[in-house]
A and B are shown apart, each in its own frame.
Chain A
């Protein structure tokens, strides 16, 4: 363990920031486990909040990392043929972080194994859970075959199974963020969610944030190789930039069609996004973040600007999840339900509480640790080869 994590090499400032996140997060976790859900801001009419958004964000990133990384490997772009471990472990780290986020959110977290022991396969949540396990098994096996391979520069291995398994892993990686969209899309009760566009939006958002995560990590750990490794960075920059534009285009298409119609059921939710209490989440965090990232990734590019641009995308693209998750729940089908019975848990508004932010801080610290740890294992495996 000691030789895996060499703290001396880590910038002390970043380590300090991470420790702050971790300590604040641990305080939040203790509060969470000692009080249950009493300190959370979600209720029965808006039952999902920040932790669920983080779950979908990290699952999207996991899928996006795998998609961009495996594509890079298959198409032999830059140094991707030598970095499959890194791609795999970053993807796994993000997936495990996402799963941790949703585990924390469960009312009965220690019953999570029921999803595997007594599953209802008709539920999209069960389907998703099984897909995560399948993804890790398939991609994990592909990484094992890659480990056994002597010549890393070639696509195929001696057994001939690496390529098929990578293609299989790629297909599941495409499914991960898309399924997250389908998770909401199958809910007929919420007009805003019940859209075929949702899985597509989640997929694009996953590829953008996953590509940005890979770009961020690579631009930090391989910054010395920046000049010789430009192809890798260019590929990831292009994916992220084009992805942002496609996402914005899809969003404009959806919003304009709904708002054009005089009696669309989704209009109220979109008005919430644009002009509701969280208008800043759309205009400042999402739109502002997207424009800033586009500028940083495409104008006067330096390794620093790439790092910053990628970080902006990884952080601000959670707004794409929140802007679907929260407004979809704040619209009641039965007018007057809110007034029918008063309780702070029975309102159609949502504001994350201090405890939710503190636990979120732990989740982020956990993700950073998991990615770092994964990279160290990847490094070990690469050097052993």
Chain B
């Protein structure tokens, strides 16, 4: 009996020990946060048009050998300090670095919780030559964020428009689902959400499919046929991530670091640097859409 009660006492957490542990953990977390040097939100913006002061990870070193993500992340935060009309987002994809792993496609699906039939960034495989002298090239195809977007002009209800920073957006609350914009896009970059779930025709729609996505910085839940079901959908350079100082999901997950993303209005940014390369192409230039997304070949 005594032995048993001693055992129970051993298993019980002593109040003093618990408080000690809690203090230690709390102090540890505080020191850890302090050590990575997150700046505080002193000047939290009052509206989305105002410049943002986002936290910076000052202790991560950046030199010429650093991962390009570090540089792009820093440049992104600098760009976010500017008012929206002073920045212009652009993406350049280096096809020589793309290995066709489709990680960007998958990360985009995960980030935006895309249902079956909706894809923002498929990777197009282009094969040249004949076996055995074959060359493969991969062209990930996000939204081209055209300067002259044909999808905007055809929308009957002004549910889609071009933001001042160059991103073409959709208001899911306004879109009537006529799909005119889908036919107008020469790149096939818009897809319609027909309301499918991956676990359709199974005993239960799985909880992960019922989670909301946060496109355009708003919570969208597809349960009960809510928007974006019935709406046109497209890549928006992960604008909800940009607003929080994060690079688009496809950029961060690219294992070949084939994506250059940033502010084209900043001449010193990596993306601007790449945009001055001569081996650059834009898709379907003859359509006159003036894409912002381009490729290095």
Contact = CB atoms under 8 A, between A and B. Distances in A.
Interface of A: 35-38, 40, 43-45, 47-48, 102, 105-109, 111-112, 114-115, 118-120, 122-126, 129, 186-190, 329, 332-337, 339-341, 343-346
A107 B117 contact: no
Contact of B188 (A124, A186, A337): A337
B174 A187 contact: no
A38 B119 CA distance: 17
Q: Name A's interface SS.
A: loop
Interface in B176-191: 176-180, 182-188, 190-191
A48 to B, nearest CB: 7
Contacts of B123: 340-341
A336 B158 contact: no
A43 to B, nearest CB: 7
Contacts, number: 160
Contacts of A189: 150, 183-186, 287
B182 A47 contact: yes
Interface in B153-169: 153-159
Interface stretch (B61-69, B84-92, B192-200, B242-250): B192-200
Contact of A125 (B154, B174, B230): B154
B281 interface: no
A199 B176 CA distance: 25
Contacts of A109: 176-177
19 contacts: A37-B230, A44-B117, A44-B118, A102-B178, A107-B176, A107-B230, A115-B157, A126-B156, A188-B287, A329-B183, A333-B187, A334-B124, A335-B124, A335-B126, A339-B124, A339-B125, A340-B123, A343-B116, A346-B191
Contacts of A337: 122, 124, 141, 188
B124 A345 contact: no
A34 B194 CA distance: 13
B283 A334 contact: yes
B128 to A, nearest CB: 12
B258 to A, nearest CB: 16
A111 B119 contact: no
Contacts of B93: none
A120 B157 contact: yes
B83 interface: no
Given A120-B156, A126-B157, 7 more contacts: A35-B195, A108-B227, A109-B177, A122-B153, A125-B154, A188-B186, A337-B124
A346 B182 CA distance: 12
A142 B54 CA distance: 65
A47 B183 contact: yes
B260 to A, nearest CB: 21
A103 to B, nearest CB: 10
A333 B116 CA distance: 23
Contacts of B292: none
A335 B116 CA distance: 22
Which of B124, B156, B185, B186 has the most A CB atoms < 10 Å from its CB?
Answer: B156
Given A108-B231, A120-B157, A125-B178, A36 B117 contact: no
